[in-house]
Structure formats: C-alpha cells, structure tokens
C-alpha cells in the first residue's frame, strides 16, 4: 500500500517577530493534517525556515495557508535583512520523500502557484523541476544579493524577462514568491574567526559551483552577529559531501589567516548526511549504517514479537494468580477511550500524571528548540540540563500512570478481603497510604516540571515561549489533580498526625504550583508580546 509523503520547506522573510512566526506556524498546522518537523529563525537574516511533511494534498493546503498568513503580516517595503529575498513567502519548495515522484511535486508547485497568483494577487515564479523555462530552473537566476525585492519592484511591470508565471506583474507589500520542486538539499553555514565579510565572500566564490567551485554547492558571504559567515545550500550532499565542502573552506580560510569557529545546520538533514561525514573524519572505511544502535532498535521494534501477542502462561506451581499487567497508554486516543469507559481506572490520578508528563515534555521541547541556536549560546548548558531533567521527569510521570492504576487496584483488593481476616485493617491502611503516596509524588514531579517550564519561559527560545506557558498550565493541572487524590485517600487514614502531614505537604505543593503558574505565564506573555 502506497503512503505518499511530501516535504515542504518554505522560507519566510521574518526572523525577528515571534508573534508573526508563531502565526505562520499555527496557520500551517491548522490548515491540514501535516507534521511540522522544525522551525529555524535567524534575526540577522530576518528569515525563518519551516519544515513540514504530509500527504500531497495536505501539504499543498498547508503551504497556501502559510503563504497567505505571511502576506497578511509581512510588509516587504520596510523589510531588511542579510539574506536575499523577493517576498514575504520567499521560496516554497516541495520535495518528494516517499511514494511520490518529482513530477507530482512539480504539479503541486504549479497548482499552488496558480492559486497564490489568482487568490492572493502575488506574482509567482516557478523554479527547479517546476520551472516553465530553462533560465528559471536555478533560483540564483531569479534572486541574488544584487537583485531582490526592490530591484524586481522596479522592472516587473516593464521587463518581459521578469514576467511572473502566475499572478499580476505588480509588486505589492507581500512581494513575489518562488515556488518549485527539488531534491533534498541541506542548508549549512560555516562561521569564520573574523568580522571581515569580504573574506567570507571570497571563500564563497571559491567553493560555489557558479564560480568554478564544487558542483553541488551554492554559497554567499554574510556578516551575522558580527562574524563572517559562508552561507550555503548543498544541493546534492551525496555527490558533494559536506566534509569535502568544510575542508575546502578550511584551506581557503587559511590563505587569509583565519579559521573556522563553528558550523551551523539550518532546519533538518538526512541521517546519511551525518553518517558520511562521520565515516570520513573518523576514517571508518567499512562502516555501514546498520551499525547504528538506534537503527537496529528500529528494525527490532518493527518486527512482530510473539511474546507481545499474548500473556505468558501462569506456572502450575504458582502459589497465587499472576496479575495481568496493563500496557502503558501511549496513544492519546486509546488513553482517552480508556478513561471514558465505564471502569474506575484509569481515572483522575492517571490523568493528573499524564498532565504532568505533558508539562515536562513541553519544557523539554522548548529547551531542545533553544540548544544549538547561536542567539542563545549563553544559556546552552542550562538548556541542555533542562532538556535532560525534563526527559527524566516525563518518563517518571508516564510510569506513574500505571502506578496510580495499581494503587487503586490495591485499595479495592484490600477492601474485598473478608472482614474476619486477621490483619485486614492494617492491609487497608497500608494500601491507602500507598494510594496517597503515588499522587503526592506526581505532584512533586509535576512541580519540578513547572520549575523547568519557568526556566525555558524566561531564558529559552522566544518563539516557543507560549509552549512554556502551556507547560505551566498543564503542570498546575497535574498538581491540583493529584492533590484531589491525596486528600481523598487521607480522609480514610486512621492516624490523624499522618493525615495532617500529608495535607500540609500537598497544600504547600499546590500553593507553590500556583505561584509558578503565575510566574511562567507572565514571562510567556511578556516574551510573546501578548501581555496586557
């Protein structure tokens, strides 16, 4: 059965206003059933690259929504940035990933181009595999550092060579869009230990194909955050591998007495891109991709296991029945259905644990969206620690879902014991204490997740500050939901002092969680600009 998958990597001329970036991402997400894989913004380039995948029809709808939202929010007449650009939705390429041809992606580009021209009144130029004429296959023929929005606006109405493929030959505030279909490419930048952008430009001329350099490299020199940058598109990383590019730049840089300080990946890259570089630099000539641990694990998980299909038999000599261990509720729909069923478990305690896990997951996500970004280099180590801590909390809170179910089952089993059975009251009390301990621990873990949410709300990637706010809200729901379960179990404690201790503990946790909620939400509102 075919499952066609298309990747779209639109480049938008906005990298400085988080609210606009979030509006574009939200429009893409809400337009169709697609998956946004990555969002990468650069304030110096004033540019954002969004990567999403989905079925062809869904990707086409989502791309239109992104272009329309960008046109509504970005005014090219006042736009400035290091990167060349023609319009608000500057370049929109479609890439065949699975069970789809380049020709089908070109058809998507042409349909979208016509719709953008007709409905939005934006001039559209088709490029690469979707191009209608040979001289427009190369993006550099349509747009360069010397021919951008301002230059196109001057000639589009009079120069026959600049007539758009779709839409009017008039430049509005949204500018023009270049839409096409192409193979996968990797956006890769190399930073030099100098602020002399002329050196970066000379090195770019040496490595790019159009100037006699490497076949599948497009390059230009920029000044980014006071540092010279060789900005590149590697259009075929298999035929011109990244290690060859980096080593050539290193040699060229030595001519000018400078060195490479670091490199930067924009967006996503295939696994083979990194494997090829590792094989070359480590000189592992006989290395094969299936030597990667994660690759082998994925293979193993894809194979059916007979043990997963049925419960193992209970030994005849077993002294007591072996309880059936329920599978974790990994799929949201399955978990929600289980909660909705006419069964006492999973109930409020499990839902509280899940809310806590989601709080930790969001904090982890924001931290990971912050690491590796040069803008946030000063908090790199903090964010790495936050991501690791949040991942640990997420795992513990997901495990607490099953623990809550088991605790409830233990209480029910204790109450079902014959009333005349010796030690029954003690068994009941022990089960109640255990049933209170689990949500109390959930509250503590969720509070820890909220503390991490506060870190990422105040210091993490501004583009994801709203996600930090949601993390705090989910964390508070987890703490307050767990508190209900603590109190309902302590109400049946025989020990008054023990009851008071549990009540005091959970009350303090709830009070602290509410303070954190206010702090995180305030920070998120301030950094997103939505606060009063």
pLDDT band at 292 (very low <50, low <70, confident <90, very high): confident
What is the reported pLDDT for 429?
92
Q: Give the pLDDT confidence score for residue 287 in this predicted structure.
A: 84
Q: What is the pLDDT of residues 447-460, one digit of tens each?
A: 999 999 999 999 99
d(CA 102, CA 147) in angstroms, rounded, equals 28
- Overall size of the chain counted in residues: 532
Mean pLDDT of 420-435: 90
- 326 has a pLDDT exceeding 70: no
Secondary structure (3-state) at 42 = strand
Residue 325: per-residue pLDDT:
40
Helix (H) or strand (E) holding 409, with range, is helix 380-416
Structure confidence at residue 225 (pLDDT): 86
In this predicted structure, what is the pLDDT of residue 331? 55
**237 burial type by CB count under 10 A (0-12 exposed, 13-18 middle, 19+ buried):** buried
Instruction: Sort 39 into a burial class: Cβ within 10 Å, 0-12 / 13-18 / 19+.
Output: buried
At 532 the pLDDT is 57
What local confidence, expressed as pLDDT, does residue 286 receive?
Answer: 82
Is domain 329-528 classified as CATH 1.20.120.680?
yes
Task: Flag whether pLDDT at 318 surpasses 80.
Answer: no
Residue 298 has pLDDT above 80, yes or no: no
**How far apart, in whole angstroms, are the C-alpha atoms of residue 219 and residue 186?**
12
What CA–CA distance (Å, rounded) separates 456 from 21?
18
Q: Please provide the CATH number assigned to the domain covering 5-181.
A: 3.30.990.10
User: Of all helices (H) and strands (E), which one includes residue 400?
Assistant: helix 380-416
CATH no. for 186-282: 3.30.70.670
pLDDT computed for residue 327 by the predictor: 45
DSSP state of 46: T
What are the tens digits of pLDDT across the range 49-68?
999 999 999 999 999 999 99
Contact 445/396 with Cβ under 8 angstroms? Answer: yes
Question: How far is residue 135's CA from residue 165's CA, in Å, rounded to a whole number?
Answer: 13
* CA angle, 466 then 13 then 96, to 5°: 90
Work out the percent of the chain whose per-residue pLDDT is above 90.
73
* 240: DSSP letter: S
Q: What pLDDT sits at residue 301?
A: 64
- Report the percentage of the chain scoring pLDDT > 70: 93
Binned at pLDDT 50, 70 and 90, residue 323 comes out as: very low
Query: What does the alpha-carbon distance between residue 43 and residue 195 come to, in Å, rounded to a whole number?
Result: 17
- Assess whether pLDDT exceeds 80 at residue 442: yes
- Residue 228: is its pLDDT beyond 90? yes
How far apart are the C-alpha atoms of 21 and 439, rounded to whole Å?
Answer: 38
Span 189-208, average pLDDT: 96
Residue-range domain boundaries for the chain:
5-181, 186-282, 329-528
d(CA 304, CA 320): 31
Q: Which two tokens stand for residue 332?
A: 């949201």
Mean pLDDT of 200-228: 94
Is the CB of residue 242 less than 8 Å from the CB of residue 188? yes
Confidence of residue 515 (pLDDT cuts 50, 70, 90): very high
pLDDT tier, 303 (very low <50, low <70, confident <90, very high otherwise): low
**pLDDT exceeds cutoff 70 at 95:** yes
* Placement of tokens 């204490």 in the chain: 433
27-31 long-range Cβ contacts below 8 angstroms, 24+ apart: 27/65, 27/66, 27/68, 27/69, 28/52, 28/62, 28/63, 28/65, 28/66, 29/62, 30/65, 31/61, 31/62, 31/64, 31/65, 31/66
Q: How far is CA 259 from the centre of its chain?
A: 32
Query: Is the Cα torsion angle 269, 272, 273, 275 positive or negative in sign?
Result: positive
Highest mean pLDDT among 207-211, 407-411, 418-422: 207-211
pLDDT digits (tens, 9 = 90+) for 428-440: 998 999 999 999 9
Q: Which run of H or of E encompasses 224? A: strand 217-224
Active-site residue among 45, 73, 79, 83?
83
d(CA 126, CA 265): 26
User: What's the pLDDT score for residue 47?
Assistant: 95
pLDDT digits (tens, 9 = 90+) for 461-491: 999 999 999 999 999 999 999 999 999 999 9
* Summary mean pLDDT of the chain: 90
322 pLDDT more than 90: no
Query: Could you report how far apart the first and last alpha carbons of the chain are, in Å?
Result: 52
Reply yes or no on whether 83 is catalytic: yes
The SS3 call for residue 227 is: strand
Please indicate, yes or no, whether the overall pTM of this predicted structure exceeds 0.85.
no
Q: Got the DSSP string for 38-76?
A: EEEEETTTTEEEEEEEE-HHHHHHHHHHHHHHHHHH--T
Q: Check residue 105 and give its pLDDT.
A: 97
Q: Which residues contact 90 (CB under 8 A, 6 or more apart)?
A: 11, 12, 13, 47, 143, 175, 177, 178
In terms of pLDDT, which residue wins out, 325 or 442? 442
């Amino acid at each position: 059965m075919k499952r066609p998958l298309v990747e779209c990597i639109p480049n938008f001329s906005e990298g400085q206003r988080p609210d606009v970036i979030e509006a574009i991402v939200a429009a893409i997400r809400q337009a169709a059933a697609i998956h946004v894989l990555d969002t990468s913004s650069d304030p110096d380039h004033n540019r954002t690259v969004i990567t999403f995948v989905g079925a062809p029809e869904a990707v086409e709808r989502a791309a239109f929504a992104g272009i329309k939202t960008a046109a509504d929010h970005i005014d090219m007449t006042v736009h400035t940035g290091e990167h060349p650009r023609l319009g608000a939705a500057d370049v929109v390429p479609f890439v065949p990933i699975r069970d789809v041809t380049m020709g089908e992606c070109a058809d998507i580009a042409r349909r979208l181009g016509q719709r953008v021209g007709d409905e939005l009144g934006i001039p559209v130029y088709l490029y690469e595999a979707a191009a209608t004429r040979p001289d427009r296959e190369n993006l550099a023929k349509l747009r360069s550092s010397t021919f951008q929005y301002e230059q196109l606006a001057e000639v589009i109405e009079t120069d026959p060579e600049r007539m758009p493929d779709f839409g009017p030959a008039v430049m509005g505030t949204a500018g023009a869009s270049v839409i096409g279909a192409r193979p996968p490419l990797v956006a890769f930048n190399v930073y030099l230990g100098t602020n002399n952008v002329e050196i970066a430009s000379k090195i770019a001329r040496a490595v790019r194909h159009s100037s006699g350099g490497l076949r599948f490299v497009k390059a230009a020199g920029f000044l980014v955050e006071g540092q010279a940058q060789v900005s590149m598109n590697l259009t075929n990383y298999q035929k011109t591998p990244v290690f060859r590019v980096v080593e050539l730049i290193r040699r060229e840089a030595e001519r000018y007495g400078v060195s490479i300080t670091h490199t930067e990946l924009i967006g996503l890259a295939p696994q083979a891109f990194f494997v090829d570089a590792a094989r070359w630099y480590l000189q592992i000539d006989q290395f094969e991709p299936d030597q990667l641990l994660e690759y082998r694990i994925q293979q193993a998980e894809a194979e059916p296991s007979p043990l997963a299909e049925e419960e193992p038999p209970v030994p005849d000599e077993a002294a007591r029945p072996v309880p059936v261990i329920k599978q974790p509720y990994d799929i949201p729909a399955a978990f929600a259905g289980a909660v909705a069923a006419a069964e006492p478990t999973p109930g409020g305690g499990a839902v509280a644990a899940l809310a806590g896990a989601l709080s930790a997951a969001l904090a982890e996500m924001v931290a990971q969206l912050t690491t590796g970004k040069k803008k946030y280099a000063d908090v790199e180590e903090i964010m790495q620690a936050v991501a690791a801590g949040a991942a640990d909390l997420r795992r513990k809170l997901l495990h607490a879902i099953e623990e809550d179910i088991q605790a409830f089952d233990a209480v029910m089993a204790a109450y079902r014991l014959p009333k005349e059975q010796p030690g029954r009251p003690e068994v009941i009390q022990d089960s109640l204490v255990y049933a209170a301990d689990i949500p109390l621990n959930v509250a503590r873990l969720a509070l820890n997740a909220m503390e991490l949410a506060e870190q990422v709300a105040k210091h993490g990637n501004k583009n994801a500050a709203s996600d930090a706010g949601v993390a705090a809200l989910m964390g508070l729901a987890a703490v307050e939901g767990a508190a209900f379960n603590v109190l309902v179990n302590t109400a049946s404690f025989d020990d008054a002092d023990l009851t008071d201790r549990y009540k005091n503990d959970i009350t303090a946790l709830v009070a602290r969680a509410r303070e954190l909620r206010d702090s995180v939400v305030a920070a998120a509102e301030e950094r997103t600009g939505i606060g009063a």
